[in-house]
Amino acid sequence: MAASLLGLAFSLPYAIIFSTFTSLPTLAAKLNAKPLPSRFDQAPNPDQEPMPPSLWHNRRADYRDVQKSQKEEEEKRLKEEKEKQEKAKQAQVQAVKDVQQQAINANNQAVALGKAGRFADAIVQHEKACKIDPSSQEFKINLSAAYCMYGDQRLKAGDASGAAHLYRKSLVVLSNNALAGNKLSQAIKKLGMDPTLADNRIGLGDQLAAGGDLAGATLEYTLAMQLEPGAKTYTKMGDISVRYGQVQNALSWYRQATVKNPNYGPAHRGAGFAYMMLKDYTQAASSLRKAVIADPDDRASGQALVEIWRKQVASQPTLAENHLGLGTALQLSGDLDGAEAEYMKVEQLDRSNPQIGPARNSLVKARKHKEADKHREAAETFFSQGLKREALSELAQAAMMEPNNARYQFQLGEYLEAAGDYQNALAAYRKSVLIDPRNEEGARRMRELVGQLNKDQQHQQHHQNHQQQQQNSRTPEQTPPQRIQLARPQEEQPSPVAVNTNYKGVESSPYAGNFRTHDESPTREVEKRDIIEKTTEPAPTQAASTANNSAVSVGIHPVLKQAAELEQRGDFNGAVEALKAALPDNLSNPEFHHRIGMDLVNLGQTSEAISELRIASALDPANRIFADDLARVLKIHQKSLSSNGAGEGR
């Protein structure tokens, strides 16, 4: 009973629920009541408080919304930037087109003006076109041509100087304009100068540089260097580089100049001032010292050298070496009393200084040279006044005080030649060349004098032969009676100055590294420290020449015979040693110098060989073999220097 009641209790709700769901459609169909009123159906009550805003408006944004917003903003920004860049690019292209069009318009206008003969106005427009578009080669060609044609116009009008200026302008714009180069040479000829001489081009460059035309000066120096690549032209290139502010480039030119000629003072001076600009005072002092030694009259270098050492003394006044350096600088610049005062300070600071002894000896020689130079200056004054005997007397005293001064000997030769004493003049020239083998002017004067003496001798011999023929052709009846010639007083001739031709060489000072006297030849020191340069070509011709020439003089001197035997065995070192050992007693023998030179060439020592060959040629100017060998060795040496310089660069 209980179970049945419980089952009935559980089954009753299901019956009710089932009956409810089954009766819902019937109930829904019967609903006819109106819907409940809504707040939208009611009129707003102004007295009623407004409802609070919805909380959805202030909700925290989701990360996906943030990313989407950022992406949209980035796309918008990129799009704006792209549009902006595109507009800028178009504007730039248009600007370039406008500029190019301006250049083209200026060029076209210039061409029209040039065709009308208005070259000055045409050049202005051509320069404008080149300034607007400097990369256009066509515009440069047109500008160079306009300068050249304007130069032709000025040359026809007789303005050679103005024409040369315009031709230089043309070459500066276009360096390979061969027509402008030829026209420039023609204009220089119109000015009365030879355009093929390097010195003339250097002189023109100096004038242009002084006037501020650096481009024209550079052009002239470059052309001079092409004509004669020597120390002078390299130094000028260094000087113009300094004017442009290219100090390192200038130093490179100065180094090349000193390689060409280690004794060229202006190159050392330029290097010294360049080092001062770079604040390298150690190198500056070294270069300026060489400049003053090469040219004692170089006051600018001397003053700069003294100023450097004064600063050193001011920074360390108790250092003896600084006072020693200042004393040397003062001595080289000519202030001998100031040098002596500095040497005294060195003795006070360091009595055992090993350099003070050589310094004082050098000072004594400097005072002696100063006294000799007074005689030289007096001689120059007398000679300029036409007082030849007095000039010879003064210069002879200077030569006696400094017998190893090449300058005095050369000047003595000039005065003797002017006085008509050709033999002693020739001896003086010869000695000057022996002291300084690089003295090309002395060698040239020797050759000219020997040629003149030979002509005079031939003329005299011809005159004597002619008189002898006339005397032999006369009959005994035609022979005039001989007269007793009365002794006539000889015309007063200037007393010849005895010149010792047995030159024994210059004794090098053991202190040449630190001090130098004015009578010591700088060339000798340079020759001793010359770097042995190997030639790039074998020299069978030189060896053959030495062997052939030996046959001529084997029977003359036993040392030459010994050298010939060593040469045949290929022992050129032994031949050089044997010849040099006998050289002091044979300094005036040209064959000795020639043989030494040729043996040195076979050893590859062309720098030292050139000095010996030059002495041989100077001692015997009429010897064609000596002259040819010297020219050949100079060419080999030049080729060796060129190949070495190409590897170093500038």
Asked, for residue 104, whether it belongs to a domain, the answer is no
> Model confidence over 184-228: pLDDT tens digits?
999 999 999 999 999 999 999 999 999 999 999 999 999 999 999
Residues 331 and 393 in one domain: no
Strand extents, DSSP E, 342-481: none
Residues 594 and 638 in one domain: yes
* 532 backbone dihedrals φ, ψ, rounded to 5°: -70, 115
Q: Which amino acid is at 68?
A: K
The pLDDT of residue 643 is: 52
Asked, for residue 385, whether it belongs to a domain, the answer is yes
Angstrom distance (rounded) from CA 258 to CA 244: 21
> Residue 59: pLDDT band by 50, 70, 90 thresholds?
low
Asked, for residue 201, whether it belongs to a domain, the answer is no
Q: Is the pLDDT of residue 523 over 80?
A: no
The CA R_g of the chain, rounded to the nearest whole Å, is 49
Q: Which of 406, 438, 463 is the last residue of a domain?
A: 463
Question: For the ranges 202-216, 454-468, 546-560, 598-612, which has the lowest average pLDDT?
Answer: 546-560
The pLDDT of residue 649 is: 41
Asked, for residue 426, whether it belongs to a domain, the answer is yes
The residue ranking higher by pLDDT, 552 or 378, is: 378
Asked, for residue 445, whether it belongs to a domain, the answer is yes
Share of the chain above pLDDT 70, in %: 73
Q: Once rounded to an integer, what is the mean pLDDT over residues 627-632?
A: 83
Indicate the pTM of the whole model. 0.57
Residues 534 and 644 in one domain: yes
Asked, for residue 75, whether it belongs to a domain, the answer is no
Residues 340 and 393 in one domain: no
The pLDDT of residue 511 is: 25
> Residue 288: pLDDT band by 50, 70, 90 thresholds?
very high
Residues 345 and 387 in one domain: no
Q: Once rounded to an integer, what is the mean pLDDT over residues 87-100?
A: 81
Domain count for the chain, please give it: 3
Q: Once rounded to an integer, what is the mean pLDDT over residues 135-148?
A: 90
CATH number at residue 318: 1.25.40.10
> Model confidence over 295-331: pLDDT tens digits?
988 999 999 999 999 999 999 999 999 999 999 999 9
Alpha helices (H) along 211-352: 214-227, 231-243, 247-260, 265-277, 281-294, 299-315, 320-332, 336-349
With left for phi above 0 and alpha for psi between -120 and 50, is residue 69 left, alpha or beta? alpha
Angstrom distance (rounded) from CA 344 to CA 347: 5
* 54 backbone dihedrals φ, ψ, rounded to 5°: -70, 145
How is residue 364 written in tokens? 């004594």
Residues 559 and 608 in one domain: yes
Range of the domain at 383: 368-463
Asked, for residue 289, whether it belongs to a domain, the answer is no
* Closest by CA position to 319, among listed 282, 348, 296, 339: 348
Q: Is the pLDDT of residue 424 over 60?
A: yes
Q: Is the pLDDT of residue 524 over 80?
A: no
Asked, for residue 626, whether it belongs to a domain, the answer is yes
Mean pLDDT of the chain: 77
The residue ranking higher by pLDDT, 282 or 476, is: 282
Residues 614 and 547 in one domain: yes
Q: Once rounded to an integer, what is the mean pLDDT over residues 500-528?
A: 35
Question: For the ranges 146-155, 188-197, 277-286, 588-597, which has the lowest average pLDDT?
Answer: 588-597
126-132: long-range pairs with CB below 8 Å, 24+? 128/103, 129/103, 129/104, 130/173, 132/99, 132/100, 132/102, 132/103, 132/106
Q: Once rounded to an integer, what is the mean pLDDT over residues 78-101?
A: 84
Q: Are 133 and 149 in contact (CB under 8 A)?
A: no
Q: Are 223 and 235 in contact (CB under 8 A)?
A: no
Residues 553 and 630 in one domain: yes
> Residue 488: pLDDT band by 50, 70, 90 thresholds?
very low
Question: For the ranges 253-267, 296-310, 368-382, 547-561, which has the lowest average pLDDT?
Answer: 547-561
Element (H, E) at 137: helix 137-156
Residues 552 and 453 in one domain: no
Residues 349 and 459 in one domain: no
* Closest by CA position to 349, among listed 373, 326, 374: 326
The pLDDT of residue 520 is: 41
Residues 621 and 551 in one domain: yes
The pLDDT of residue 341 is: 92
Give the single-character DSSP code of 56. Answer: G
CB proximity list for 535: less than 8 A, separation 6 or greater: 601, 604, 606, 636, 637, 639, 640
Q: Is the pLDDT of residue 486 over 50?
A: no
Q: Which of 424, 446, 463 is the last residue of a domain?
A: 463
Q: Which of 443, 463, 483 is the last residue of a domain?
A: 463
